[in-house]
Amino acid sequence: MTSTCRGIERTNTRDALESLVLALGDGRNEDGTLKIRRVARILDINHAALCGALNGKRPPITLDTLAEWASRAEKVGINLSFWVGPDKELHYHVQG
């Protein structure tokens, strides 16, 4: 699935990002919400940017940004592998 941002078609990275956040945050809070602030500290990013990317208020993050955040997650033992298939869909695997 793709979306358009400023006339540029982007691969939808939300599902992969949510899986990475779940792995880094060690699940969800008691009320079912994601542990955004904790994960933002691990990734060394602003929690508002992470929240906006997850809830759809901002365009999906680029593949370059996803790769950068995945490399930061490797430092704490979470590995995210992803690839774009011939159908232009993002496929991913989280391990750790």
What tens digit of pLDDT does each residue of 9-41 get? 778 899 999 999 999 988 778 887 778 888 999
25-31 contacts, C-beta under 8 A, 24 or more apart: none
pLDDT category, 80, cuts 50, 70, 90? very high
Tokens representing residue 71 in the block: 């490399």
Mean pLDDT of 66-93: 93
In CATH terms, the fold of domain 2-95 is 434 Repressor (Amino-terminal Domain) (1.10.260)
User: Is residue 78 within 8 Å of residue 19, measured between CB atoms?
Assistant: no
Question: Residue 92 pLDDT more than 80?
Answer: yes
How far apart CA 52 and CA 20 sit, in angstroms, is 15
Predicted TM-score of the model (pTM) = 0.84
Q: Is 90 helix (H, G, I), strand (E, B) or coil?
A: strand
Instruction: Using alpha carbons, select from 40, 68, 44 the residue that is nearest to residue 52.
Output: 40
